[in-house]
Amino acid sequence: MVQRYDAIIIGTGQAGPPLAVRLGKYGRKTAIIERKLVGGTCVNNGCIPTKALIASARAAHIARRGADFGVILNDAVRVDMSAVKARKDAIVQQSNRGVTEWLHSAPNVTLIEGHARFEGPHAVRVGDELLEAKQIFINVGGRAAVPDMPGLADVPYLTNSSMMEVDFLPEHLIVVGGSYIGLEFAQMYRRFGSRVTVIEMGPRLIAREDEAVSAAVQAILEGEGIEFRLNATCLRAQRHGSGVRVGVSCEQEPREIIGSHLLLAVGRVPNTLDLGLETTAIRTDARGYIEVDDTLATSVPGVWAMGDVNGRGAFTHTSYNDFEIVAGNLLDGEARRVSDRIPAYALYIDPPLARIGMTEHEVRASGRKALVGKMQMARVGRARERSETQGYMQVLVDAEDQRILGAMLLGSEADEAIHCLLDVMYAQAPYTVITRAVHIHPTVSELIPTLLGDLKPLV
Ligand SMILES: Cc1cc2nc3c(=O)[nH]c(=O)nc-3n(C[C@H](O)[C@H](O)[C@H](O)COP(=O)(O)OP(=O)(O)OC[C@H]3O[C@@H](n4cnc5c(N)ncnc54)[C@H](O)[C@@H]3O)c2cc1C
The atom of ligand 1 lying closest to the CA of 306 is 26
Closest by CA position to 439, among listed 428, 423, 450, 454: 450
Tell me how far the alpha carbon of residue 176 lies from the centroid of ligand 1, in angstroms.
21
User: If you take atom 49 of ligand 1, which residue's CA is the nearest one?
Assistant: 40
Region label for 288, one of left (φ > 0), alpha (ψ between -120 and 50) or beta (otherwise):
left
The arrangement of strands across the sheet holding 129-132 comes to: 2-4, 129-132, 123-126, 116-118
The atom of ligand 1 lying closest to the CA of 181 is 1
Question: Are the C-beta atoms of residues 306 and 322 closer than 8 Å to each other?
Answer: yes
pLDDT in tens, 74-95: 999 999 999 999 999 999 999 9
Catalytic residue, from 61, 115, 361, 441: name it: 441
- Residue 93: count other Cβ atoms within 10 Å of its Cβ: 12
Please, which residues have CB within 8 angstroms of residue 49's CB and are 6 or more apart in sequence?
88, 91, 92, 164
Question: Distance (Å, rounded) from C-alpha 89 to C-alpha 84?
Answer: 9
Tell me how far the alpha carbon of residue 95 lies from the centroid of ligand 1, in angstroms.
14
Average pLDDT of the segment spanning 148-173: 97
Residue 4 CA from chain centroid, whole number: 36
Q: In a mutational test of the pocket of ligand 1, which residue from 38, 269, 316, 348 has the highest number of ligand atoms less than 8 Å from its CB?
A: 316
The atom of ligand 1 lying closest to the CA of 12 is 33
The atom of ligand 1 lying closest to the CA of 33 is 43
The SS3 of residue 49 is helix
Question: Distance (Å, rounded) from C-alpha 103 to C-alpha 109?
Answer: 7
Question: Distance (Å, rounded) from C-alpha 143 to C-alpha 274?
Answer: 13
Q: What share of the chain is helix, strand, coil (3-state, %, to 5)?
A: 35, 25, 40
Tell me how far the alpha carbon of residue 347 lies from the centroid of ligand 1, in angstroms.
16
Tell me how far the alpha carbon of residue 41 lies from the centroid of ligand 1, in angstroms.
3
Tell me how far the alpha carbon of residue 193 lies from the centroid of ligand 1, in angstroms.
28
The most distant pair of C-alpha atoms in the chain lies apart, rounded to whole Å, by 71
Average pLDDT of the segment spanning 197-205: 97
Tell me how far the alpha carbon of residue 10 lies from the centroid of ligand 1, in angstroms.
13
Please, which residues have CB within 8 angstroms of residue 351's CB and are 6 or more apart in sequence?
220, 377, 388, 390, 391, 410, 411, 412, 413, 414
Please, which residues have CB within 8 angstroms of residue 261's CB and are 6 or more apart in sequence?
158, 170, 171, 172, 173, 174, 243, 244
The atom of ligand 1 lying closest to the CA of 37 is 49
Q: In a mutational test of the pocket of ligand 1, which residue from 315, 320, 324, 325 has the highest number of ligand atoms less than 8 Å from its CB?
A: 315
Average pLDDT of the segment spanning 30-46: 98
User: If you take atom 22 of ligand 1, which residue's CA is the nearest one?
Assistant: 316
Tell me how far the alpha carbon of residue 139 lies from the centroid of ligand 1, in angstroms.
9
Closest by CA position to 386, among listed 426, 414, 409: 414
Ligand 1 binding pocket, CB closer than 6 Å: 10-15, 33-37, 40-42, 46-47, 50, 115-116, 139-142, 160, 181, 271, 275, 307-309, 314-317, 319, 348
pLDDT at 254: 83
pLDDT in tens, 103-157: 999 999 999 999 999 999 999 999 999 999 999 999 999 999 999 999 999 999 9
Question: Are the C-beta atoms of residues 310 and 304 closer than 8 Å to each other?
Answer: no
Question: Distance (Å, rounded) from C-alpha 415 to C-alpha 351?
Answer: 9
Question: Are the C-beta atoms of residues 407 and 357 closer than 8 Å to each other?
Answer: yes
Q: In a mutational test of the pocket of ligand 1, which residue from 12, 47, 282 has the highest number of ligand atoms less than 8 Å from its CB?
A: 47
pLDDT at 173: 98
Question: Distance (Å, rounded) from C-alpha 192 to C-alpha 175?
Answer: 15
pLDDT at 190: 98
Question: Distance (Å, rounded) from C-alpha 335 to C-alpha 353?
Answer: 32
Alpha-carbon torsion (323, 315, 46, 118), positive or negative: positive
Asked if the model's pLDDT at residue 252 lies above 90, the reply is no
Asked if the model's pLDDT at residue 1 lies above 90, the reply is no
Helix axis angle for 81-105 and 16-25, nearest 10°, is: 20
Question: Distance (Å, rounded) from C-alpha 434 to C-alpha 431?
Answer: 6
Average pLDDT of the segment spanning 165-192: 98
Which H/E stretch holds residue 3? strand 2-4
Annotated catalytic, 261? no
pLDDT tier at 401 (50, 70, 90 boundaries)? very high
pLDDT at 10: 99
Question: Are the C-beta atoms of residues 111 and 103 closer than 8 Å to each other?
Answer: yes
pLDDT at 404: 98
Counting every residue, how long is the chain? 459
Question: Distance (Å, rounded) from C-alpha 206 to C-alpha 213?
Answer: 8
